[in-house]
Structure 1
Amino acid sequence: MIKSIITGCLTLITFSFYSQESQNKQISAKPNVIFIYADDLGYGDLSCYGATKLKTPNLDKLANQGVRFTNAHCTSATCTPSRYALLTGQYPWRKSGTGILPGDAALIIPTNKMTLPKLFQQAGYRTANVGKWHLGLGDQVAKNWNGEIKPGPNEVGFDYSFIFPATADRVPSVFMENHKVVALDTNDPIQVDYSSKVGNDPTGKEHPELLKMKSSPGQGHDNTIVNGIGRIGYMSGGNKARWVDEEVSTTFLEKAKEFIEENHKKTFFLYFALTEPHVPRMPATMFKGKSGLGYRGDAILQLDWTVGQIMKQLETLGINQNTMVIFTSDNGAVLDDGYQDEAVSQLNGHTPNGILRGGKYSVLEAGTRVPFILSWPDVVKPKVSSGMVCQMDLLASFSNLLEQPILKEDAPDSENTLETFLGKSEKGRTILIEQGGNTLGKGGTLAIVKDNWKFIPANDGISYDQLVGIETGNANEPQLYDLNEDLGEKNNLAKKFPNKVNELAKLLKEKTQIKE
């Protein structure tokens, strides 16, 4: 009798053990996912990537518990195209109209094709977009900002959306929740125009004495003044709805935390698009002066704190182990990008792009090689990876992880590099097309990287952008770099290896055939 009881108990314990193990595996196969997108953060801006003048303890902690990539890329050296590629799995230069958008642009993400958030919806996730959008709204430029505006984030896969329409230096300077402007007063209707002035609001050009942050000459940030800062574009009305820059970041944080709290017992995907350290840099009061590097440094400290707040919430809710957190940036760093905010004069030896040449707008490595950290404590072991990965590949990789097949034509350029993202392989991509800024027109300069050889074709674009103080990577002769030995792209090997130049030139031409 006793033997039977013991046998039964052992059987029950064994069954419970394997049942729990099976359940854990099932949970781990379907993690919560938080994708945190910094804005204009450079390869050398974090202490876990070598910064010594700035300390970013929360992101360092995230890196120490996950995979920190040294060869991770966005597709493009500016924001709108990088975000387009992330969400669609398609190189942005394949589609016209994917350059940096004005604040009144129409939606450029297709509503009838698979997107990253739609993939998660298909897998049963609750999805949300909180933060910067900058991918257009509505089906045309002319739109009524005082009613419902769609299509937008909700129509491309997000169940919930709390955004500002474009970016912080462009009007309209308002928040939108799902399809409507938050706190809109119908007696004070909003008008937006990017070609001519609307209403009687003062502009930075006409009334510089009203500015609390002066605009840099020639960069267009001297139109309608909102919160003492000149913006790109003209706006009137919506005075109660207009944001205060110092509160934008914490507002987005609270909305992100609300979504996590409401959905922590389900599986969720949160696309959390931060504003830091994009201009205008106007951090919350508690961060002003804290970095010793001016408002740009302060904004990076605010960014790090924001990530820490999210991590603390995950721990409090008991879901940190099976939540995948991905942190990266939409392009490389820039200092003087529209405002005289002392980002250059108070740099104090900090190197925003590390050892890389170029920066935002550049086809050189600092344009698209960005910080990228992936943490998933249940599954991913800490390591540093040199495998080449691209944000555009998350769509195909999550398709594999979540066992949700997608059509190749829906994400034509996205590659399944899941094993590399999870730190199980160093293989990654073998070929990547990098897109510089718009100095050669809408598409910008294209370069190709294959097996750590990088080729930039000869072109007649400007070699140095005086307005922002950045090398563009353009030259009137071909450029070839061995990134294994020369990550700073200092030694042009084109004349030494003409066969390699011909090989990569031919491959670049083949790979960049438009497939719309």
Structure 2
Amino acid sequence: MSAACALRQRFQQTGKPTMKRRNFLKQVAGATALSAMSATATGAAREERGRAAATPNLLWIWCDNLAYGDLGCYGNKRINTPVIDGLAESGARFTQYYIAHTVCSPSRAALLTGRQPFRTGIVDVLRPDSPTGIPSDEITLGDALRANGYATAAIGKWHLGDRTEYLPAQHGFDFYFGLPYSMDMLPTLLYRNNDIIEELPGDAVQNITERFVDEAISFMETNRDRPFFIYFNHTLPHPPINLPPERRSPGQTVYDDAIEHIDDQTGRLLAALDRMELAEETLVVFTSDNGPMGKYGDTAGLRGRIRDSYEGGIRVPLIARWPGKIPAGSVVDTPAISYDIFPTFVKLAGGKPPADRIYDGQDLWPVLSGKGDIKRDKPFFWVYLDKVTAMRKGNWKLHVSHRDSPLEIPELYDVKSDPYEARPLNERHPDIVKEMLEAIRNYEAGIPKVWSLQYPVRDPNKRNSGVRRE
């Protein structure tokens, strides 16, 4: 089997960490231990919750390949999503939120580390039994938030390596309940922390979403008296989709049913926060890791799908709610990208990103709170393997490759006036094309070379890749 694996050249251009992750964790271990001990005492726990305005609970809900136009609040007239639409009505809805990579594993690496995926060495989809995964010296959101006193849980799809050293328990999460990779990779193994507790063949996966939600609610209950971070990862609507029979609607596609199922289960999470009187103290974010896969998925007319750096492949919904902190019904048109989440969450938790490595994102709180704007320090670059495919600077977006195939003629678009990327402006603005091509060349000089890696799948029960057909 062939997979792309980055040769992680250790030089400062790529953001070489000079502080080992374990040293970072040692520096904050004392503070974390004190925080955890105080959270077990009733009086101290009440004091801890009294500081919630400064340190909210963080609930991150990630769908797998949900398209930009799949929700009612993003214009869909066919699929019923009242819970998620209500979340948008009571919070903020982003119109130009991007994921940092066109496929799953790198996209997740970017979110959890706040860094371009190539800096972590994860540059393509990881397969079952891949010898690579998230490196031990990367500091994840789990690490950084736990260092600031948070209880941390990863629930649902992980997809950053399925060997023990790459699982969430080794990367900042107190608790893990989920699947190590996508639903189209076999076998479907359910983990609790580092242990495989079940194999879920065929229809045994039908109620997995409910089980994920059950575990998330249980984690909230257990940690209601201290700040918590739940990194919740749906497996839906990534194909193949296998839903409980009662979730199927006559005359409706299984894809649409899956999104309505997500909406229902999101309602369970929000109801649990209400029941525990934690809604006012919790920042909830609902979004997607990539554009749509397969023939279903409504991009709202945006060009492209998963693996494409056109807008339909990388622009996804993002909704954020924190009652009293984020203005209800607000619409954020400021461009944002998934590696912005790391500095945003860490700052809200009272911490700072380590100073020993390159971080690519910026704090989004000024636009989330409605109290300011952000000025971008640098453009957005999308990289596939070791080459830039597209760049956005201001309203300008330049495409130079389609996946791993260079374009004969670069394509320049004004994505504010033409989000559908239907009217290339190369000939009208050759100066802009020249400037952006130069920026791309300079940026590529700092990207490590990617080599093709041949490796055997050591576990005979694991399928190399490909869509499950059983």
TM-score interval (norm. to shorter): 0.7 to 0.9
Change (3 A) 1:107 1:308: farther
- Verify: 1:126 aligned to 2:151, yes or no: yes
Shift in Å, 1:119: 1.1
Equivalent position to 2:318, from 372, 385, 390? 372
Equivalent runs, 1:326-475 vs 2, <5 Å: 326-336=285-295, 343=296, 352-382=298-328, 383-427=330-374, 429=376, 431-435=378-382, 442-443=385-386, 446-457=389-400, 475=407
- Verify: 1:492 aligned to 2:438, yes or no: no
Give the SS at the match of 2:353.
coil
Query: In the aligned structure 2, how far is the partner of 1:95 from the partner of 1:317?
Result: 38
Q: TM-score, normalised by structure 2?
A: 0.80
Letter in 2 for 1:486: D
Contact 2:307 2:403 in 1 (8 A): no
Compute the RMSD of aligned alpha carbons. 2.3
Give the SS at the match of 1:325.
strand
- Verify: 1:174 aligned to 2:189, yes or no: yes
Shift in Å, 1:109: 1.7
Query: In the aligned structure 1, how far is the partner of 2:49 from the partner of 2:300?
Result: 40
Query: In the aligned structure 2, how far is the partner of 1:178 from the partner of 1:445?
Result: 36
Shift in Å, 1:65: 0.7
Contact 2:249 2:257 in 1 (8 A): yes
Shift in Å, 1:407: 2.2
Query: In the aligned structure 2, how far is the partner of 1:178 from the partner of 1:24?
Result: 27
Contact 1:458 1:477 in 2 (8 A): no
Contact 1:88 1:410 in 2 (8 A): no
Give the number of the structure whose alpha-carbon radius of gyration is greater: 1
CA offset digits 1:372-402 (Å, max 9, x no partner): 0110003111200101111111111223222
Equivalent runs, 1:9-88 vs 2, <5 Å: 26-88=51-113
- 2:162 alignment partner in structure 1: 137
CA offset digits 1:273-331 (Å, max 9, x no partner): 001100111122221126x4311111011111111110011001111011000111001
Query: In the aligned structure 1, how far is the partner of 2:415 from the partner of 2:74?
Result: 18
Letter in 1 for 2:344: S
Letter in 2 for 1:422: S
Query: In the aligned structure 1, how far is the partner of 2:166 from the partner of 2:397?
Result: 39
Change (3 A) 1:458 1:92: closer
Give the SS at the match of 2:413.
strand
Contact 1:461 1:475 in 2 (8 A): no
Contact 2:48 2:226 in 1 (8 A): no
Give the SS at the match of 1:150.
helix
Change (3 A) 1:404 1:251: same
Give the SS at the match of 1:476.
strand
CA offset digits 1:95-128 (Å, max 9, x no partner): 5443111021245222233211111101100000
Q: Please list every run of 5 or more consecutive structure 1 residues that lacks an aligned counterpart in the other structure.
A: 1-21, 139-148, 185-224, 229-243, 337-342, 344-350, 463-473
Shift in Å, 1:25: 7.8
- Verify: 1:227 aligned to 2:202, yes or no: yes
- 2:133 alignment partner in structure 1: 108
- 1:315 alignment partner in structure 2: 274
Give the SS at the match of 1:27.
coil
Letter in 2 for 1:365: E
Change (3 A) 1:460 1:59: closer
Contact 2:387 2:404 in 1 (8 A): no
Give the SS at the match of 2:408.
coil
Letter in 1 for 2:151: R
CA offset digits 1:135-190 (Å, max 9, x no partner): 1033xxxxxxxxxx334211110000011111111123110111110148xxxxxx
- 2:206 alignment partner in structure 1: 246
Q: How many residues align?
A: 401
Contact 1:68 1:385 in 2 (8 A): yes
Shift in Å, 1:27: 2.0
Letter in 2 for 1:380: I
CA offset digits 1:412-439 (Å, max 9, x no partner): 2122232123333343646443437x6x
Query: In the aligned structure 2, how far is the partner of 1:48 from the partner of 1:377?
Result: 18
Give the SS at the match of 2:242.
coil
Contact 1:132 1:275 in 2 (8 A): yes
Contact 2:157 2:180 in 1 (8 A): yes
The higher relative CO (CA closer than 8 Å, separation ≥ 6) is in 2
Equivalent runs, 1:151-300 vs 2, <5 Å: 151-183=166-198, 226-227=201-202, 244-289=204-249, 292-300=251-259
Contact 1:393 1:416 in 2 (8 A): yes
Shift in Å, 1:251: 1.4
Equivalent position to 2:265, from 290, 303, 306? 306
Letter in 1 for 2:70: D
Query: In the aligned structure 2, how far is the partner of 1:61 from the partner of 1:367?
Result: 25
Give the SS at the match of 2:407.
coil
Query: In the aligned structure 1, how far is the partner of 2:211 from the partner of 2:401?
Result: 46
CA offset digits 1:320-363 (Å, max 9, x no partner): 01100011100111234xxxxxx5xxxxxxx6100210011111
CA offset digits 1:230-259 (Å, max 9, x no partner): xxxxxxxxxxxxxx1211111111111111
Change (3 A) 1:287 1:443: farther
Contact 1:39 1:329 in 2 (8 A): yes
Query: In the aligned structure 1, how far is the partner of 2:175 from the partner of 2:404?
Result: 42
- 2:415 alignment partner in structure 1: 483
Query: In the aligned structure 2, how far is the partner of 1:25 from the partner of 1:486?
Result: 47
